[in-house]
Amino acid sequence: MLEMVGGSFQPLLGFTLLLLCVKPGLGSSIGEGDAEVGCIGRERQALLKFKQGIVDDFGILSSWGNEEDKTDCCRWEGVQCSNLTGHVVMLDLGAYGYNESRYLRGKISHSLLGLQHLRHLDLSGNNFEGESMPEFIGSFTKMRYLNLSSTHFFGTLPCQLGNLSNLNSLDLSGNSHMSSENLDWLSHLSSLTHLNLNGANLSKVIQWPEAITKLPSLIELHLKSCDLPSLATPSLSLVNSSASLVLLDLSFNQLHTASIYPWLFNFSNSLVHLDLSYNLLRGSLLGAFGNMVSLAYLDLSKNRLGGRIPTHFSGSLVHLELSNNFIRGSIPGTFGNMTSLASLGLSRNRLKGKIPKSLSSSLVYLDLSGNQIQGSIPDTFGNMTSLRTLCLCSNQLEGEIPKSFNNLCKLQTLELCRNNLDGVLAKNLLPCANDTLEILDLSRNRFIGSFPDFIGFSSLTRLELGYNQLNGNLPESIAQLSQLQVLNMPWNSLQGTVSEAHLFNLSKLQHFDLAFNSLLTLNFSSDWVPQFQLTEILLASCKLGPRFPGWLRSQKGVGWLDISGSGISDVIPNWFWNFSSHLYRLNISNNEITGIVPNLSLRFAHFAQMDLSSNRFEGSIPLFLFRAGWLDLSKTCFQGQFLYCVQLVVELWPISTSQITYCQESYPTVGHDGKE
């Protein structure tokens, strides 16, 4: 059979072969009607041999077989034949086509070469771990579509791929164990419109732009995370290069400005989608991107770009992401005229000035956090009724939350933290977002008034109102926020009592911070077993005492516990030293806690910080405490030890307490140093 490899067959030859193969007694269905073209025996055998090389844990190929009722291979799972010639033209066995958790394993047999009329081969998502990509794949001269993405191959990209001269679409992405030193073979693929090599290691391919330039039909090019080398002096002539290129993704490489700009702007008229995020682009050439007239999607985030935001962008821009650069100046008012703009990310730059009155009313996502923007939040924001995410944290904004925010009915995330905003928080804040709001962070401003009612905010997962001047009681209605994971409102002037009635239904709560509301009393019955398992309990300076809070015993996963200065004058219970093995930060200082600390074989998390100072412990200092990274026993009178009412602070590791939250990031674990 293998003598046919590499040759191209005329239909006539194919037909005679068909007859030859049918005679030796391969089921009746095929030969019967002349008009009915079924499966060709030779190709059937090739497929069965391919199946032999495959480990099929999930029975994906169960329709493939020798049995009487399975003779027509054109009806097998993933197989398609030409209804004119009967040849197998498509093998569509991409794992994701079925079910993400079903895939094939094993080896790709040479027998596949029997399918010389194959035009479409998709084996994506299957697991050929440890195998190299077969070189014979270059012999399918009729191949138009080849998808071997995420197949776990390793080794080099075979240059034989360059023989697939009819190929339109080549997807080898997601094979991070594959590399190439040379992409010269690409230049033979003159029909190629889609190329995806995301994740392949191309760090040695100095000539990668040249290789791409030789693809006159290219529409989509994905070279994300390819470790592409930067070219110091581009000597490119890309005159012929794809005026057709529509999508270019070069993100997550280490490209410098000089190696990319000179040829990039030759695609100016065609590019619709351009992603250069996570590179090393410098300079103030942003204006050149403004001249790309067809752009709908532009991501330049996480580079080192300076300069100002251009006043003109393509009118069809939908997505603009410039965050994490060194961009200066103010936000141009022209965004108000960009009626298609849905997503605008300018966070973590050096922007100054005021927010323009007019920003595109079609915005769904707006992130201006981490700049030096001043002035107030414009009333006109209430006109952006499509807004789902609004992040303005870490600026110098003043004034009140505009009343017009009452019109925002789709808001999911509102983060205004770390500004100088003030005014009375409305009792019914954001009434129209009651069904949608998930994250509300107004912390570190100057808001006054009583705690808002969040009745009906059934989706709220994170509520941060800390470091303001809110007073009054915590309403019992917070018990209805059954999705709440984070409830942080330290450093306010809250009063009254927090009881089980507030918290009984918050089964998902993890972070609970009411610290430094010194008028606030927490009164839970000592045998209360809450529904939640907290990881952070910060109640410093609240009134917890005089009894030691018994409900803490149920919290087995606590990492950070601060009940300092909370009026506890009680014997420390024995269970306390064993209640959580995750503890990395403990502060029970400034109470009147008495009792003996037993010498336990307790293990702390790395670099744990322990503050037991200003209490009235008795007995000797237990040695296990010295396993902490930072220990404060000052002003506490352990006895019977040579250290006797002596200040003792052992510092083995400095712990950073800086906490900066930004919109794009998930909720950070505070204070726990990442150095473990």
**Measured between alpha carbons, how far is residue 471 from residues 29, 220, 418, 467 in Å?**
84, 57, 19, 12
Residue 120's SS3 state is strand
DSSP E strand boundaries for 141-258? 145-147, 155-156, 169-171, 178-179, 194-196, 220-222, 247-249
Q: How far apart (Å, rounded) are the C-alpha atoms in residues 353 and 307?
A: 15
Q: Checking DSSP bridges between strand 105-106 and strand 54-55, what pairing results, if any?
A: antiparallel
Which residue's CB is nearer to ligand NAG, number 346 or number 610? 346
* In the complex, minimum distance from the CB of residue 525 to ligand NAG, in angstroms, rounded to a whole number: 6
Bond from prior residue into 546 cis (ω within 30 degrees of 0): yes
Which residue's CB is nearer to ligand NAG, number 240 or number 657? 240
Beta bridge partners of 446: 422
* In the complex, minimum distance from the CB of residue 648 to ligand NAG, in angstroms, rounded to a whole number: 34
Residue with tokens 């008028």: 519
* In the complex, minimum distance from the CB of residue 24 to ligand NAG, in angstroms, rounded to a whole number: 28
* In the complex, minimum distance from the CB of residue 86 to ligand NAG, in angstroms, rounded to a whole number: 11
Which residue's CB is nearer to ligand NAG, number 6 or number 654? 6
* In the complex, minimum distance from the CB of residue 368 to ligand NAG, in angstroms, rounded to a whole number: 17
* In the complex, minimum distance from the CB of residue 17 to ligand NAG, in angstroms, rounded to a whole number: 20
Which residue's CB is nearer to ligand NAG, number 475 or number 622? 475
The per-residue DSSP string of 194-227 comes to EEE-TT-B-TT-TTHHHHHHT-TT--EEE-TT--
Which residue's CB is nearer to ligand NAG, number 15 or number 630? 15
Contacts to ligand NAG by CB under 6 A? 6, 58, 83-84, 94, 96, 99, 101-102, 124-125, 138, 147, 149, 159-160, 162-163, 169, 171, 179, 185, 194, 196, 201, 203-204, 227, 236-240, 262-263, 266, 333-334, 336-337, 379-380, 382-383, 404, 431, 434-435, 456, 458, 479-480, 482, 497, 505, 521, 523, 525
Q: Which residues contact 497 (CB under 8 A, 6 or more apart)?
A: 473, 520, 521, 522, 523
| Token pair belonging to 431 | 């009434």
Residue 423's SS3 state is strand
* In the complex, minimum distance from the CB of residue 229 to ligand NAG, in angstroms, rounded to a whole number: 10
The type of residue at 445 is N
Residue with tokens 């949608």: 436
DSSP for residue 132: B
Q: Which residues contact 642 (CB under 8 A, 6 or more apart)?
A: none
* In the complex, minimum distance from the CB of residue 667 to ligand NAG, in angstroms, rounded to a whole number: 21
| Token pair belonging to 171 | 């997807």
Which residue's CB is nearer to ligand NAG, number 115 or number 648? 115
Which residue's CB is nearer to ligand NAG, number 74 or number 489? 74
Q: How far apart (Å, rounded) are the C-alpha atoms in residues 308 and 653?
A: 42
Q: How far apart (Å, rounded) are the C-alpha atoms in residues 421 and 58?
A: 58
Which residue's CB is nearer to ligand NAG, number 207 or number 404? 404
DSSP for residue 468: S
- CA angle (224 as vertex; 223, 229 as ends), nearest 5: 70
Asked if 513 and 487 touch (Cβ cutoff 8 Å), the reply is: yes
* In the complex, minimum distance from the CB of residue 7 to ligand NAG, in angstroms, rounded to a whole number: 9
Which residue's CB is nearer to ligand NAG, number 229 or number 557? 229
The type of residue at 459 is S
Which residue's CB is nearer to ligand NAG, number 357 or number 603? 357
The type of residue at 505 is N
CB closest to ligand NAG, residue no: 456
Residue 129's SS3 state is coil
Beta bridge partners of 350: none
* In the complex, minimum distance from the CB of residue 45 to ligand NAG, in angstroms, rounded to a whole number: 23
* In the complex, minimum distance from the CB of residue 308 to ligand NAG, in angstroms, rounded to a whole number: 15
Which residue's CB is nearer to ligand NAG, number 502 or number 672? 502
* In the complex, minimum distance from the CB of residue 64 to ligand NAG, in angstroms, rounded to a whole number: 18
Closest CA to 473 of 454, 495, 444: 495
| Token pair belonging to 37 | 């073209």
* In the complex, minimum distance from the CB of residue 148 to ligand NAG, in angstroms, rounded to a whole number: 8
Which residue's CB is nearer to ligand NAG, number 291 or number 634? 291
Which residue's CB is nearer to ligand NAG, number 360 or number 580? 360
Which residue's CB is nearer to ligand NAG, number 317 or number 663? 317
CA 302 to chain CA mean position, Å: 15
The type of residue at 130 is G
DSSP for residue 61: T
Q: How far apart (Å, rounded) are the C-alpha atoms in residues 280 and 305?
A: 8
Which residue's CB is nearer to ligand NAG, number 334 or number 599? 334
* In the complex, minimum distance from the CB of residue 586 to ligand NAG, in angstroms, rounded to a whole number: 25
* In the complex, minimum distance from the CB of residue 55 to ligand NAG, in angstroms, rounded to a whole number: 15
Q: Which residues contact 396 (CB under 8 A, 6 or more apart)?
A: 372, 373, 374, 419, 420
| Token pair belonging to 105 | 């394993």
Q: Which helix (H) or strand (E) is 260 found in, with range?
A: helix 257-264
